[in-house]
Structure 1
Amino acid sequence: MSRKVIIDCDPGIDDAIALMIALFDPRLDVLAITSTAGNVNADQAYTNLQALIECLDPPRRPRIAMGPGPRLAPPVDSTFLHGSDGLAEIHLDVAKLHQTHSADKLISDEVRAFSDEVTILCLGPMTNVANCLQRDPTFASQVGQIIITGGSVNGIGNVTPCAEFNCHFDAESARRVLHSKTTKTLVPLDITSQVTFGIDLLDHIPKKESRVTDLLNQILPFYFRSHRRHLAQEGICLDDAVALVALLQPELFESVPMAGDVETQGDLTLGATIFDQRTVRTWTPNMEVMTSVDAAGVKDCIIRGIIEAVKETAG
């Protein structure tokens, strides 16, 4: 029986790879995909989402909706890694829709329709999920599970010295979600950064013509070049695809209950995730946090997911 999932994302390159795997995995029933600002602004994020769905053309199209982004976002984005359009500057063709749906309404409606059955895979800033919690007091009790790409347990960030991008971009929403009475699993930067891919990832892409092959051959080389140019790294991390594997194959990870919070005020620490790890702890655990990973197993799962998506989209 397939697992019902809503994917909330800020479509950059790693989001695109997670989406292409999820949309063709028979273990998942992707009810909806929603966009939020993060890697790119809110309008571009929705354009990318719509373009990816049209490009991939999955057998069952999920409903899509647009989120507005946070009320006050810090002046950061990831376009230096993902390209000015968030997708390697390939500018996919897309027919503009005359009417867009609200992300928080769509998420709330789907969760209400399948109470306790829906997993929300939150791949970007948590703006839309926080808006759902604010919109509907019953939302928290109706969600089956939330799996979150975000945070850092060891206090080392990727956008500031101590903050991970998603939590930094909308710290208030991250705090609201982590404080909520939902079942949450955090896949932090400490874990996703252990799963790295070298340029040989390109060799694993099947040579046959397919919609997925065409897309990967455009976005992955750009991602490797931008990491080398801007971060002096030969390899790349696909954080969002790792979070997807945490949903599909949780046995590849180990997790522990932890008590965590997000800093929303600090000039130097905005978006830093703080966990009570004292000898005598006084905070009540509010989430499961992934603490170790079978990196080789996760890499294999991602590569197999890509290969399967290629097969499903071959001409």
Structure 2
Amino acid sequence: MTKKLLIDTDPGCDDAVAIAAAVAHADLELVGLSTVAGNTTLENTTRNTLAILELLDRTEVPVARGCDRPFCRDLVHAEEVHGPGGIRGDMPEPTAEVIDDHGVSFIVEQARAHGDDLTIAAVGPWTNLAAAMHLEPDLPDMVADIYLMGGAAMTGGNVTPEAEFNVYVDPEAASHVVQYARPKMGGLDVTNRSKVAPELIEDYARRGVPFETIAAWFGYEDTDAIRERGIDDPPSVHDAAVVIDIVDDIFEYETYPVEVNTGHGPSRGATICDTRGAPGEEPNVDVAVDVDLERFQTTLAETLENL
């Protein structure tokens, strides 16, 4: 049965792979994309989203521009990882434009329109999702599932020793989401291991449009460099793993009480996962604790062949 999917995103190379997988998988219907500031500015993430859809010849998918900054913080971006403007590869000039709806309103409207046929995947900072839940408090009960890419429940962070990027960017939004959404959280515990084979990246780099650009997304590197040097140890494609889990159950989940540290200093954005089973602590998040890497790699490669 086809699942209706809305992706809230901040492209970003791994976001781009996630979007490609979503439009290519036969069991997913991508009903829309909302953009958020994160890996780069909102202007760039929105332009990148439109360019990704242009590249994949899916410009009919609606794109709604969302929040341009975290709730209470200055924006921290990751262009040093994803490239100038937030994405690698030879990207086309977008011909489509964003819809009139704000990204937060768009999330709520899609939830009301599709109800429990809809799955939401938030793979950037969770600002839009938290704001949508303020606008429509019943949103988590209206939809089938809410998936998150973010957090580091039982492992170290990738921004600080404790914090994962999406949570670190907007810990106040993340705190609200984990408290009230009862989400499935695919954090660094599993996505750090979600890499594709070097041979696939090197093959894509020689295959032409759109695969040579996807190779750049996989490698977080220019395609020419991949052709010349190859890839020894590919980076993780965090966001794509969450999309593949939605259709192929590649993650193993355990349910725990989870909180987010909204303070300042070295613990900002830490995902606090209580594995002790302490009395009085109610489990509120399905935490991904393991990933079937072989199935992830196989399903993602097979899916992208549909492009």
2:107 and 2:75 mapped to 1: Cα distance? 27
1:305 and 1:270 mapped to 2: Cα distance? 37
CA contact (8 A) 2:261 2:269 kept: yes
Compared CA separation, residues 189 and 217, structure 1 to 2 (3 A): closer
Whether 1:288 and 2:286 are equivalent positions in the alignment is: yes
1:254 and 1:156 mapped to 2: Cα distance? 19
Q: Deviation above 6 Å: which 4+ runs of structure 1?
A: 224-227
- The farther-off stretch of 238-247 and 274-283 is 274-283
What is the correspondence of 1:97-246 to structure 2 with a 5 Å cutoff? 97=97, 100-180=100-180, 182-205=181-204, 209=208, 211-223=209-221, 234-246=233-245
Paired residue for 2:265, among 264, 267, 272?
267
2:186 and 2:46 mapped to 1: Cα distance? 24
Gaps of 5+ in 1: 228-232, 310-315
Counterpart residue identity of residue 283, structure 2:
P
1:241-283 deviation digits (Å, cap 9, x = unpaired): 1111110111x32111111010001311111000112253431
Relative to the length of structure 2, the TM-score reads 0.90
Counterpart residue identity of residue 199, structure 1:
P
CA contact (8 A) 1:155 1:272 kept: no
Gaps of 5+ in 2: 227-231
CA contact (8 A) 1:10 1:38 kept: yes
Relative to the length of structure 1, the TM-score reads 0.87
SS of 2:32's equivalent in the other structure is strand
CA contact (8 A) 2:158 2:165 kept: yes
2:151 and 2:76 mapped to 1: Cα distance? 16
CA contact (8 A) 1:144 1:183 kept: no
RMSD over aligned Cα atoms: 2.5
1:221 and 1:39 mapped to 2: Cα distance? 16
CA contact (8 A) 2:153 2:187 kept: yes
How many percent of aligned residue pairs carry the same amino acid?
A: 26
CA contact (8 A) 2:64 2:103 kept: yes
